[in-house]
Amino acid sequence: MLLTDIVAKVLSWSGDVRGGIEAAMKELDELRRQLALKNEELQELRTKLRECETLKAGYEKTLAD
């Protein structure tokens, strides 16, 4: 009877741990997705900044001439 109780507890804990790991993996996947979106947004902003810097340089050159 005691061995049966121990095995049942171990199986229960194993299931709890497995569930926790699965939840953590889902959360990690969501964080990766959000990070990828932020990275895309950052790349777009860098592109816009380069375009603005190019336009600014052109205007400054025009004013200097």
- For residue 61, report the phi and psi dihedrals to the nearest 5 degrees: -65, -40
If one counts the domains in the chain, the total is: 1
Per the structure, the complete domain to which residue 57 belongs is given by: 1-64
30-44: per-residue pLDDT in tens? 999 999 999 999 999
pLDDT at 64: 87
- Give CA–CA dist 53/22, Å, rounded: 46
pTM of the predicted protein model: 0.67
